[in-house]
Amino acid sequence: MNAPAATPLGTFPVDSGRLTVTDPGCDPTAALEHGAALVARNGTWAAAFDEGRRFLLATHESIPDPPTDAWVRLTDSVTVDSGQAGVFDAERYEGHGGREGDNAFYGAVCVLTLDSEQHGGVLPEGTVAAALYGEGVYPLDVIMEGEAVIAVRIDFDPVDDEWDDDDDEWED
């Protein structure tokens, strides 16, 4: 069964074979403490919001309509300090310094999340969105093909999920 139609945000390239999922305000050296590093398929990726703005989706062109039953919740999550989170080509993201470094990159991110009607969008580095509840910890889901990720989903409203304090992981 496939999910309802998503609201497209645009496309971005992935050339490095790696994705960084993080708060764009993080310095690249600290980004993985706030998110995840994923092996990913190179190519054109599409960004979209699904279920209103609950999910920020990033999907490889080979899977334009991800089946709802294919998502796997990771134990990694995205820690948001700037009220924003994104999925970025790792090599492109590493060329910036979060809030303290490349102000042009961080400024462009803020325009997309704060000044646009959609509260998110794409740039050459990847896709970014304003988190529904600002700062916090948001679950991360993926779809894999072999060893590579072909779809990423940040859950900005995990109301149907519960955090298991005993296992330190999300449970459906």
Q: Where are the domains of the chain?
A: 7-158
Q: What is the pLDDT of residue 163?
A: 47
- Total Cβ atoms within 10 A of residue 5: 9
| Buried-exposed string 93-103: b where 16+ CB fall within 10 A, e elsewhere | bbebebbeeee
CA atoms within 13 A on the CB side of 93: 34
Predicted local distance difference test score (pLDDT) of residue 152: 97
Closest by Cα among 42, 32, 21 to 152: 21
Task: Report the SS3 class of residue 91.
Answer: helix
Q: Is residue 26 a contact partner of residue 34, using CB atoms and an 8 Å limit?
A: yes
In 3-state terms, what secondary structure has residue 122? strand
Which pLDDT does position 162 carry in this prediction? 53
Computed on alpha carbons and rounded to an integer, the radius of gyration of the chain in Å comes to: 15
State pTM to two decimals.
0.86
pLDDT for the residue 156: 92
What pLDDT was estimated at residue 1? 46
CA–CA gap between residue 88 and residue 127 (Å, rounded): 6
Q: Give alpha helix (H) positions in the chain.
A: 90-94, 103-110
Would you tell me how many other CB atoms lie within 10 Å of the CB of residue 115? 8
Rounded Cα–Cα distance for residues 59 and 109 (Å): 20
**Tokens 């709802």 — which residue?**
68
CA 147 to chain centre: 19
* pLDDT the model gives residue 105: 85
Per-residue confidence in pLDDT tens, the chain, 172 aa: 455 568 899 999 999 999 999 999 887 777 778 889 999 999 999 999 987 788 999 999 999 889 989 999 998 899 998 899 999 999 998 877 566 555 788 889 999 998 888 899 999 999 999 998 888 899 999 999 999 999 999 999 876 555 455 555 545 5
